[in-house]
Structure 1
Amino acid sequence: MSQILDLVGIFVFALSGALMGVRKRLDAVGMLVLAAMTALGGGVVRDLILNVRPIAFQSLGYILVPVAATVIVFFWHPHVARVMPAILVLDAAGLGLFCAVGTEKALEYGLNPLHAALLGVVTAVGGGMLRDVLAGEIPTLLYDRQLYAVPAMLGSGVMAALSSSGLHGWPATLAAALLAFGLRITAMRFNWRFPVARGVAE
């Protein structure tokens, strides 16, 4: 079940990467690169830091899902763009899932709660950062005006805190993921923004 949820999150992230490729007028190869980086980049970086073989290279599904997402966007990107509100909801779910699972995996490999939470954030937003850099955009993490990284930080922190309190397994993962998901959805619903420096125009 966890792998299925993981692949669903990867699929949604890959859609956003491929759509970025369409906006940047990239060819099919460029779209696939952005899709794969968005979907897999955070997890790969996390696993490399943990000095383990990235999970993306242990199952064929982790490679085929970004390919499938790219094909869908390549042929039907106007339709995909029209259902972006639904995709953003799924993206928020993927954000919550990845930050919780990433933190949990880091804890399993012996990292302290703070470092584990940081790796949880990397898992959730690292792929998006790589996508933005490759596409020539300022990474969202550096101007979190739409509260994207903040929910990941909160979810990862809660996951680390629950684990430190002796709460493990799917209940803790679900609680942390739902918290991050809820904050992200609420920020989207009410258009919450982080402030910029005093005196700087919005």
Structure 2
Amino acid sequence: MAAGRRWSVPEFRAFVLGHPLLWHFARRLVWVSEHDGARAAFRIAEDRTLADAADAVFTPPDGALVGIVHPVALGERATKEWARVFADYEILQPFPQLGRPVHALTAAERGGRLERFEGVTVPGGSLLGLVRRGWERGVTQGGGVVAQVWRRLPDGARITVELDPGLAHGHPRPQRLARVRFDGGTSEEPDPVAVSEALADLATLVETAV
């Protein structure tokens, strides 16, 4: 979902819908069909047919790509509509999808700094947790200290967190988020799903403030 993985319709039918175990997991999620710029959300019904939010039978068009939809792509109104459908059918999701927090950059933040995250001191172990979620350590400086972590986004964009005093190998002491900045890369419109996931990581990080 976060990575935007897509399958062709035949792949989806063979490896997801037709799988004897996986389809039980898949039917608890909202999926999306994308074709020629058109996007349509659907779910897998109990009889393995596909249905839209109004419970009408849905058939992906030939040539469509199918994937698990992120709530950013669904939009607030459709996300709420699907949440009501799943509540009516008492469907419990295997991970947060419809209830997933959605984050976005403000107009000011697109110009550089994300001040809402700055000045907070967090445990060093929490920062290492970001690395396990796809963030990267910066260049190791003198004394083996890493003063930055960053998250690469599509089209060369990046969110960088500058640390004080810096992470030392084997000593994950608390770190102050001295500066957090957004570099937009080559795209005028940063990927909204990637941005939302990166900002969600930072929001979770600051909740661990010491």
The structure in which a higher percent of residues are helix is: 1
TM-score using structure 2 length: 0.27
The higher radius of gyration belongs to 2
**Higher RCO, Cα 8 Å, sep 6+:** 1
TM-score using structure 1 length: 0.28
